[in-house]
Amino acid sequence: MVYEMAKNIMEKDQTLMEESPQKISAGIIQFFMVLNGVQFKKKEFAKMFGFSEVTINNIYKRIVSIDSSPNQNDEEQNDERATERATEKIE
């Protein structure tokens, strides 16, 4: 499930591949957790990956914008709304 989501995001915007794989992984995992309502502390999450909260949040925001890009089907649009609601919860 996470793999398919990550693959879809990477196919939509290949410039994301300019970032380190670890940063991309952290951002995608955070995105997945937010979409699925998993509660977590940003500081501890960032510490696990060895990056700052800001670094991971910047990648996360890029992923959200990629996932929200045009040419989505209805299911993806529903995911976008879920992402927006989840983002409000963790900020």
Q: Is 21 exposed, middle or buried (0-12, 13-18, 19+ CB in 10 A)?
A: exposed
Q: 75 or 10: whose pLDDT is higher? A: 10
The pLDDT tens digits of the residues spanning 30-46 come to 999 999 999 999 999 99
SS3 75: helix
Which residue type does 26 have? A
Biggest CA–CA distance in the chain, Å, is 36
Per-residue confidence band for 74, with pLDDT thresholds at 50, 70 and 90: very low
Share of the chain above pLDDT 90, in %: 60
pLDDT tens digits along 12-29:
998 999 999 999 999 999
Please tell me the pTM assigned to this model. 0.72
